[in-house]
Each structure stands twice: as structure tokens, then as C-alpha cells.
Amino acid sequence: MTTRVGVVVFPGSNCEHDVVEAVDAVGGSGELLWHKDKSLGDVDAVVLPGGFAHGDYLRTGAMARFSPIMDAVTRFAQDGGPVVGICNGFQILTEAQLLPGALYKNQGLKFLCQPAVLRVESTDSVLTRRMKVGDELNVPINHFEGNYVCSEEALAALRENDLIVFTYQDNPNGATADIAGIRNENGNVVGLMPHPERAAHPLLGSTDGALMLRGLIGID
């Protein structure tokens, strides 16, 4: 059965169509969900896409977490449903307390859109379950607030519980411990700054993002 992936559209989201296209291309079925909806329908997985939800006004992700659909997303995540936050989606997941920490402005105080080389650190996540620790992936970044920060205790817990999913090989934004993506303890909730949908076609220079999405929809 085709895995149905719901991609949540907040006003200001802009990567939703790209994610749907990339999910479809790897054999899943992407569909858009509206932030004012209270239910996720019958989707098998949820993606919070990149963009500028609510203009990123106040603070990235700070207002999106109060959108009506976020209650359903939280319940879905708590029930073990796969939830992936990409870029702005990662920022929303931290604001919604589904993942620890926060995303600060990049160390150089400039927006960065460029390729990034990631290292797979944990395979107990919906994105990496078919990968090996140490695998290298080329997946681009595109953010102003991608500098991951958390308390020392939180970092110790991330390390101890193998919750760091991806690190940068050449840290572009000053992120603590080179962190590019993390997961919750069950591995069903993953947040990452790089954009898998932008590395899902040979003409875009890398298909490593497609590998992540194949993991999400459960295809080997």
C-alpha cells in the first residue's frame, strides 16, 4: 500500500509542493494538510515543511505551534506516527516541545543557502533506518536560524541516547556538536535543518535526500 504523507501548509510555508513532489517521486503519496484543520485524516506520516510559517514573525516556529493542526500532530507523534520537521518544520517541532533545544541565528549572522555534507550518526530514526552510521549524504541547507543549541544536560542526553541523527561534516552555522538533525527517543519524530526534497533528483546534483524519504515511506 502506498504510504500517504501529509505535508502541513502554514501561511508562509514554501517547501510544501517540493516535498509532495519528492515523496511522490520515491513512491509515496504526498498530500497537503491545512494548518487550520484539526485532524490529519488518514495519513501514515506527517512532514512539517520548510518556509517561513507566519512570516517567522516573533520567532521562528513560535506562532505555528499554536496553529490548530498542531494538537493533532502532537497526538499523532505521541502515538508513534512518523513526523519529520524540515528546516522551519524542525524549528516548529522544538517550539512545540516535540524535540529538545532551539535554533538560533547562524553564527555568521547571514542567511545560508548552500550544499552540505552530512554524516549519519543514528540509524534508529524514520529517515535513517535503512542507512549505516558513518554514511555521508549530500543534502543542501537553506536557513538563517539553523544554529542548534541546547543545555549541556540536554546535549548529554542526546548523546547518551543516540538521539543525534545527522551531523555536519563542515559546520556551516555554529550548531552545537555539529548537529544537523535529531530525533525523539522512539525515533518516529525527526527534525533536521537540511532539505531532503532538494536532493531527490539527479539533475539537482544529489539523490541522497531521496534515500531519507524512502526511509520515511518505508521503502528499501
Partner 1 sequence: MNKSLHQSLGLTDDEAKAIEKILNRPPNHLELAMYAVMWSEHCSYKSSRIHLRRLPTEAPWVLVGPGENAGVVDVGDGIAAAIRIESHNHPSAIEPYQGAATGVGGILRDIFTMGARPIAVMDSLRFGLPSDPRSRWIAEGVVSGISGYGNAVGVPTVGGETVFDETYTGNPLVNVLCLGLMPADRLVLGRASGEGNLAVLLGASTGRDGIGGVSVLASASFGDEEKEAEKRPSVQVGDPFEEKRLIEACLALLDAGLVVGIQDLGGAGLTCATSETASRGGVGMDVDVAAVPRREPGMEPFEVLTSESQERMLAIVSPDGLDDVLAICDRWDVQASVVGRVTEGGLLRVRDGMDGPVLGELPAASLHEDAPSYDRPRRPPGEWEAAKSDSADDLPPPADVGADLLHMLSNPSWVYHQYDHMLFCNTVVGPGGDAAVLRLKHPATGADTGRALALTTDGNNRWCAVDPRAGTALTVAESVLNLACVGARPLAVVNCLNFGNPEHPEVMWQFSEAVDGMAEACDAFGIPVVGGNVSLYNESNGHNIDPTPVIGLLGVIDSLTRIPPGLAWRDGDRVIVLGEAGAGLSGSLWAAATAGHKRGQLPVLDYEQHRRVAGLVAGLVADDRLSAVHDVSSGGLGVALAEMAAVSGVGFRGARIHGHAELFSEAPSRVVAAVHPELLPEVEAAAAATGVAVARIGLATGDRLAIKGLLDLGLAAIADRWRSPMPELTSG
Binding site for partner 1 (CB under 8 A): 11-12, 14-15, 17-18, 21-22, 51-52, 54-57, 110-114, 140, 142, 144, 195, 197-198, 200-201, 203-205
Nearer to partner 1, 72 or 87 (CB): 87
- Of 15, 16, 54, 87, the active-site residue reads 87
Q: How far is the CB of 200 from partner 1 (least distance, A)?
A: 7
Q: How far is the CB of 117 from partner 1 (least distance, A)?
A: 16
Q: How far is the CB of 195 from partner 1 (least distance, A)?
A: 7
Nearer to partner 1, 18 or 178 (CB): 18
Q: How far is the CB of 96 from partner 1 (least distance, A)?
A: 20
Nearer to partner 1, 55 or 80 (CB): 55
Nearer to partner 1, 9 or 150 (CB): 9
Residue written as grid cell 524549528: 91
For this structure, is 87 an active site residue?
yes
Active site (catalytic) residues: 87, 195, 197
